[in-house]
A and B are shown apart, each in its own frame.
Chain A
């Protein structure tokens, strides 16, 4: 194959196709592609959303959700044997005895730790455990923003309706109520901590549209919203000197054998040593599952997003919900190769960028809910054959980013999207001047371990916060509700767990009775020991290198 000639970061043939996008921009400037009717939405979801295409889901054959459908990769992890075998660990020697253990140091877990401390639990009685570094989480990659119905023209009722509708009315209403009613308080808390929220000239918060919302409600910090929120919250956490250990994933929860979660077994990723934690209350905030690459999609998620929390909680006996659905973000990067699957925030579309096909035509309303928007992009690429094929064979559509400055004025991208612009400029692409190529990418675990308005799981002693939980977003999450979820339910679970501890609850016995029972069920269901979980880390080592590895130590 001849060497490709590159112009402005694109292979010549792609660069030529871009000219059609330039030609139609003026016409598209005033034209808004109509939103789909409810019937059209249902039809396209039914036809092209991966959740609805057979082959992706199957029945769970054991445990609290036996007989219910879940994504194949989740079922694989649930129908798997523990990493630790019975008798391998000594539970009589306890290494840590915090009142509250928080598992997972993203926005949810860090917020929970702080609020447990605010609520009166001493900093040395709180333990935050991290699989990787404190902050290696999806939270810090959240670009778009956080929803809160604080403006006069907005209302919590409206936020409630938008969220329920976005989730196709499968959300738990009382949990959504907690989400929307706490949102303004969370914005105030962020300000009190010193987060630099975007402001208008008059001091108002900048509030933008989000896909599927009926009003401008999205608060942001440039396109580093999650990073800024997390940085200040982690700094507050560190100032409070709450105990924190890193590179120490939980490989199993411990229970008293009667349904109460009582601790966990941690594993030192570097030395292989295990540690035993006995805690009065445990908050699970382990995030989502992007690194399972469901249906073979690339992902926006961080390295450790391997659904560990679902496995740990399920084995201990907790119920899951809505784990049959997956959120794909409509606009992942599709070119260049090095950044495929990376998140290109929805805020680009709320700021005017339109999805455009190979002929330079708009083909979808830019702010449909994420599931509808992604299905429309798949249709354009694979049914109507109007996508653009990259040199590596990926097909995508253009996201016309120069339109953002046509609509908002020159300099807007530098101000509002410094992260995006920096990422593309590393590959010689100027998103102010040329469109970027996009295709849907695996983004969010809609469901999870069933939660309630105070973050309780169905087990005593176990709370949930953030992406690991199920019920808040139903079967589809709205933009700006995930960072909100982490902080609302981080705070609520931290407070609730603190109240539980303060009510005089003592430590409970430590046992692996639940895994023993689980292994028995696996055997009875005819599932062999070929799979083990939690996964902890995905496998990206080169095939050639892996094929020749030997174990000599």
Chain B
């Protein structure tokens, strides 16, 4: 009984330590723990913030509560596209606020929304050809190859290259090069030809995924048919009615794929 109590205490102490160690992330850094500070300018207004923060967490540290410009906080959703310039530089830089560490003298503005065209289409009725791209996005022909889109991409994608590939009808190249796009919209806002690169890429990727990567494997279609025809019905009826003990037994006896294959080979 006494040992039992010790165990509980220890586990709780572990939870307490984990919680303490995570505090700077979960409830924010304490001023007294900060060693290095930088000054950032949020839409021109200066704030002193801890140097370890990202643009996103620094803006929060300064006292802003996000309604826009903050989504997944991990670089996947494209909500926190940010344009900034560093003191003394002419160059406009871009980044995702959640993925960029603050630097002293950053002048920041967030771009949480892009007013972009997105036409409606039904892939089943479209031709798998470059003509479809021009049908919905004729403005791609206006690309002047200035490469500003590529420079603006916070994912480091070769945006201009895939726009050029789209014009040439090389859908595989578009799909591969644009695959990591998080659709933040910064390319489109910087484009002098007003092309919505990321929506063009979305159309092409869908066409390529549907028509360019081959049909769905035959075994998928076969399995769907088997399920629809009730091939597993009896077995599943039985399985769903088993007791916990019966299920546990089946579960612990089931073989891993490699073992399964071996048995099959030896048959």
Which A residues fall within an 8 A CB radius of B? Answer: 1, 38, 47-48, 50, 53-56, 132-133, 135-138, 140-141, 148-153, 155-158, 160-162, 164-165, 169, 173-174, 176-177, 181, 184-185, 187-188, 191-197, 199, 203-205, 214-216, 222, 224, 226-228, 231-232, 235, 238-241, 247, 269-270, 293, 295-298, 300, 302-304, 337-343, 378, 382-383, 392-395, 418-419, 422-423, 426-427, 537, 539-546, 549
Residues of A within 8 Å of B121, CB to CB, are 239
Residues of A within 8 Å of B194, CB to CB, are none
Residues of A within 8 Å of B251, CB to CB, are 161, 164-165, 169
- How far does the alpha carbon of A141 sit from the alpha carbon of B98 in the complex, in Å? 14
- How far does the alpha carbon of A290 sit from the alpha carbon of B219 in the complex, in Å? 37
Residues of B within 8 Å of A162, CB to CB, are 254
What's the nearest-Cβ distance from chain B to residue A198, in Å?
10
**B254 to A269, Cβ gap below 8 A?**
no
B224 within 8 A of A: yes
With known contacts A196-B179, A394-B22, A232–B209 Cβ distance under 8 A: yes
B76 within 8 A of A: yes
B232 within 8 A of A: yes
What's the nearest-Cβ distance from chain B to residue A274, in Å?
16
What's the nearest-Cβ distance from chain B to residue A372, in Å?
14
Residues of B within 8 Å of A176, CB to CB, are 240
Residues of B within 8 Å of A196, CB to CB, are 175, 179, 205, 208-209, 213
- How far does the alpha carbon of A97 sit from the alpha carbon of B219 in the complex, in Å? 44
With known contacts A53-B11, A54-B12, A157-B239, A541–B220 Cβ distance under 8 A: no
Residues of B within 8 Å of A174, CB to CB, are 240
- How far does the alpha carbon of A392 sit from the alpha carbon of B236 in the complex, in Å? 51
The chain B residue sitting closest to A190, CB to CB, is: B209
What's the nearest-Cβ distance from chain A to residue B220, in Å?
5
| Interface residues as binary, B51-93 with A (CB distance below 8 Å gives 1, 0 otherwise) | 0111001001111111110111111110100000000000000
The chain B residue sitting closest to A172, CB to CB, is: B240
Residues of B within 8 Å of A138, CB to CB, are 72
- How far does the alpha carbon of A308 sit from the alpha carbon of B76 in the complex, in Å? 22
Residues of B within 8 Å of A50, CB to CB, are 15
**B63 to A393, Cβ gap below 8 A?**
no
With known contacts A132-B71, A196-B213, A205-B220, A140–B14 Cβ distance under 8 A: no
With known contacts A1-B35, A177-B236, A185–B219 Cβ distance under 8 A: no
**B53 to A338, Cβ gap below 8 A?**
yes
Residues of A within 8 Å of B262, CB to CB, are none
**B18 to A188, Cβ gap below 8 A?**
no
Q: Which of these binds chain A: B25-33, B142-150, B159-167? A: B25-33
Residues of B within 8 Å of A238, CB to CB, are 118, 120
What's the nearest-Cβ distance from chain A to residue B151, in Å?
17
The chain A residue sitting closest to B13, CB to CB, is: A382
- How far does the alpha carbon of A302 sit from the alpha carbon of B67 in the complex, in Å? 13
**A232 to B217, Cβ gap below 8 A?**
no
Which B residues fall within an 8 A CB radius of A? Answer: 7-8, 10-12, 14-15, 17-28, 30-31, 35, 52-54, 57, 60-68, 70-77, 79, 99-101, 118-123, 155-156, 175, 179-180, 182-183, 202-203, 205-210, 213-217, 219-224, 227, 232, 235-236, 239-242, 244, 247-248, 250-252, 254-257, 260-261, 264
With known contacts A205-B217, A214-B256, A215-B256, A156–B15 Cβ distance under 8 A: no
**A222 to B210, Cβ gap below 8 A?**
no
**A338 to B101, Cβ gap below 8 A?**
yes
**A136 to B72, Cβ gap below 8 A?**
yes
**A224 to B120, Cβ gap below 8 A?**
no
The chain B residue sitting closest to A157, CB to CB, is: B235
**A247 to B67, Cβ gap below 8 A?**
yes
Residues of A within 8 Å of B247, CB to CB, are 161, 164-165, 169
**B79 to A195, Cβ gap below 8 A?**
no
Residues of A within 8 Å of B18, CB to CB, are 295-297, 378, 382
What's the nearest-Cβ distance from chain A to residue B246, in Å?
10
What's the nearest-Cβ distance from chain A to residue B3, in Å?
12
Most chain B CB within a 10 A radius of its CB, from A160, A173, A191, A296: A296
Residues of A within 8 Å of B223, CB to CB, are 149-150, 184
- How far does the alpha carbon of A184 sit from the alpha carbon of B231 in the complex, in Å? 14
Given contacts A337-B24, A541-B64, 17 further A-B contacts (CB under 8 A): A53-B12, A140-B72, A150-B223, A157-B239, A173-B240, A194-B206, A197-B213, A216-B257, A222-B179, A227-B182, A232-B202, A239-B122, A304-B71, A343-B74, A395-B21, A540-B60, A545-B63
- How far does the alpha carbon of A133 sit from the alpha carbon of B205 in the complex, in Å? 22
Supply 14 A–B pairs (Cβ within 8 Å), ascending by A: A48-B14, A155-B232, A165-B248, A192-B216, A199-B213, A199-B214, A214-B254, A247-B68, A296-B26, A392-B24, A394-B21, A426-B99, A537-B66, A540-B57
With known contacts A184-B223, A247-B68, A302-B71, A340–B22 Cβ distance under 8 A: yes
Residues of A within 8 Å of B182, CB to CB, are 227
- How far does the alpha carbon of A295 sit from the alpha carbon of B19 in the complex, in Å? 7
Of A169, A203, A395, which one neighbours B248 at CB under 8 angstroms? A169
The chain A residue sitting closest to B29, CB to CB, is: A542
The chain A residue sitting closest to B235, CB to CB, is: A157
The chain A residue sitting closest to B57, CB to CB, is: A540
**A133 to B79, Cβ gap below 8 A?**
yes
**A194 to B209, Cβ gap below 8 A?**
yes
**A302 to B77, Cβ gap below 8 A?**
yes
**A141 to B76, Cβ gap below 8 A?**
yes
Residues of A within 8 Å of B61, CB to CB, are 541-542, 545
Most chain A CB within a 10 A radius of its CB, from B22, B118, B175: B22
What's the nearest-Cβ distance from chain B to residue A540, in Å?
4
Residues of B within 8 Å of A155, CB to CB, are 232
What's the nearest-Cβ distance from chain A to residue B127, in Å?
14
Residues of A within 8 Å of B71, CB to CB, are 132-133, 135-136, 302-304
**B76 to A241, Cβ gap below 8 A?**
no
Residues of B within 8 Å of A427, CB to CB, are 101
**A153 to B14, Cβ gap below 8 A?**
no
Most chain A CB within a 10 A radius of its CB, from B52, B71, B208: B71
Residues of B within 8 Å of A426, CB to CB, are 99-101
- How far does the alpha carbon of A514 sit from the alpha carbon of B17 in the complex, in Å? 41
Most chain B CB within a 10 A radius of its CB, from A47, A270, A302: A302
**B7 to A47, Cβ gap below 8 A?**
yes
Of A56, A149, A269, which one neighbours B67 at CB under 8 angstroms? A269
**B77 to A135, Cβ gap below 8 A?**
yes
**B15 to A55, Cβ gap below 8 A?**
yes
**A184 to B179, Cβ gap below 8 A?**
no
Residues of A within 8 Å of B72, CB to CB, are 136-138, 140-141, 302-303
Residues of B within 8 Å of A157, CB to CB, are 232, 235-236, 239
